Structure 1
Amino acid sequence: MSAQANAGKALEIQVDGSSYQRIPIRTRVVMPGDDLEAFITDYAPAVVQPGDILFVTEKIVAITQGRSYLVEEIQPRKLAFFLSKYVTRTPYGIGLGMPETMEMALRECGTPRILFAAAVSAVTKAFGRKGDFYRIAGDKARAIDGPTSGTIPPYNKAVVLGPSKPREVARHLQTLLASGVEVAVVDINDLGGNILGSTLDAAGEKRLVQILGDNPLGQGHQSTPLGVVRPA
């Protein structure tokens, strides 16, 4: 079966003069209690080849680690209500712009760090600089996903945290695949992305962010939480 891109996304991209395919892997919906190792071995080996990079969305890693919570289960403190009012919302996700996601950021990152990030951001925004909040709060805050109408149920009513120990996860998943396959746990959306953990070196991670910069897996109901990067 030939590789197919998700709707509205290109299968192939050029980065620094080289061409790469980004092949989505369609799967069932990952649920809390699923075993990540079994999930990967169900879907990835039939697609990946030596020389490929298997990229895994941080969301399914976190879900299999028990790091997803229904919104109704989260009781935000007053500080979470206050801080969430000042978060810029985008069409691509609510981020920490609701009390429940901000509450989880306070728990994950610690109140002092979030307060410091908010204070610095308030000052630098006044001078037209953006992004300082997440730069200071860090990957744990950036990786928190809130519910959106375009998300596959039941996660359209859930908050999903970033994964625990993503670098160790990537290294373990690599042992399940053919020799010569690299693995990356990624946090990619339509505004850009980050590599949370991988078996690549720093240069490889930087190149992978460029390759995945247009979010080839999409943000909605595509049901493609895995993908393969392959030299074209």
Structure 2
Amino acid sequence: MSGDGTAGQANAGKALTVTLEGATYARIPIRTRVVMPGDDLDAFIREYAVDQVEAGDLLFVTEKIVAITQGRSFPIDSVQPRKLAFFLSKYVTRTPYGIGLGMPETMEMALRECGTPRILLAASVAAVTKAFGRKGDFYRIAGDKARAIDGPTKGTIPPYNKAVVLGPDKPREVAERLKALLGVDADVAVVDINDLGGNILGSTLDKAGEKRLVAILRDNPLGQGHESTPLGIVRPA
């Protein structure tokens, strides 16, 4: 592979190839520097990905670097949570893979992004259905904007270990713009992938293609911590 980007390592214990429905795909990580607020996403993609992508590939871009370049990253100490955010965050289940809305600052940003009525509805429904053993209703109702909010975790690369990062704005339009930038017949997807699963926030794929991509990336082969691989390529092997 040529260009400024370098091949990164797979997430611990994960392979860089996967077979799905009889077809084998390579998942190629691209190691980069840390994306900072003020960086231009198009310039970043030109620097690290354009020379790596071939016709027939799919370039996937983590939602976090898209959001950061859009100015949607906020230092934790700049977020002043309201009392409702403190209250609601207590009832969010935290996982080792991401704090989600389980801290007042991230919950506050969810209230701002999604609107207080929607978050209250999601919390109310989830409280009822959770009592019957059903999980996931909060994010189903709150939507992708709430699901995509990232707070700091132990493995988060500085300076984002002290920041709240929102989901990207207009991810489908971003994917379309980056596809045109690549200059070859390749697709692009903005993804939210972690060790619990994944979502495609915007892409140049159809629905079937997005569903297949989620399956290809389901085991989070590139990681989400210090691997520094916010870009990756899916290539038929």
**Which bin holds the TM-score, normalised by the shorter protein?**
over 0.9
2: CA distance between counterparts of 1:50 and 1:120? 45
Q: What residue in structure 1 maps to residue 157 of structure 2? A: 152
Letter in 2 for 1:149: K
Q: Give the Cα–Cα distance (whole angstroms) in 2 for the partners of residues 7 and 94 of structure 1.
A: 19
Shift, 1:178, TM fit: 2.9
Q: 2:10 aligns with which of 6, 14, 22?
A: 6
Work out the CA distance in 2 between the residues paired with 1:213 and 1:42: 27
Deviations along 1:113-167, whole A, 9 cap, x unmatched?
A: 0000000000000000000000000000000000112111000110000000000
Question: Sequence identity of aligned pairs in percent?
Answer: 79
SS in 2 for 1:209: helix
Q: CA deviation at 1:221?
A: 0.3
Distance 1:90 1:107 in 2: 23
Contact 1:49/1:178, CA 8 A, preserved across alignment: no
Give the letter aligned to residue 24 of structure 1. P
Does residue 122 of structure 1 match 2:127? yes
Q: Distance in 1 between matches of 2:53 and 2:217?
A: 17
Within a 5 Å distance, the mapping from 1:140-179 to structure 2 comes to: 140-179=145-184
Q: Give the aligned residue type for 2:96.
A: P
Structure 2 counterpart of 1:124, one-letter code: T
Cα deviation per residue 1:85-121 (whole Å; 9 max; x = unaligned)? 0000001010000000000000000000000000000
Q: Secondary structure in 2 aligned to 1:114?
A: helix
Q: Could you say which residue in structure 1 is the equivalent of 2:185?
A: 180
- Cα deviation per residue 1:19-77 (whole Å; 9 max; x = unaligned)? 10000000000000000000000010221100000000000000000000010000000
Query: Which amino acid is 1:11 matched to?
Result: L
Q: Give runs of aligned pairs for residues 81-230 of structure 1, distance below 5 A.
A: 81-230=86-235
Q: What is the deviation of 1:3?
A: 5.6
Task: Give unmatched runs, 5+ long, in structure 1.
Answer: none
The answer on whether the counterparts of 2:24 and 2:236 sit within 8 Å (CA) in structure 1 is yes
Deviation at 1:6, TM superposition (A): 1.9
Aligned to 2:70: 65
CA distance in 1: counterparts of 2:83 and 2:167, whole angstroms: 23
Contact residue 50 and residue 178 of structure 1 kept, 8 A: no
CA contact (8 A) 2:89 2:102 kept: yes
77-86 vs 38-47, greater mean Cα deviation = 38-47
Query: 2:24 matched to 1:15?
Result: no
Kept in 2, the 8 Å contact 1:70–1:158? The answer is: yes
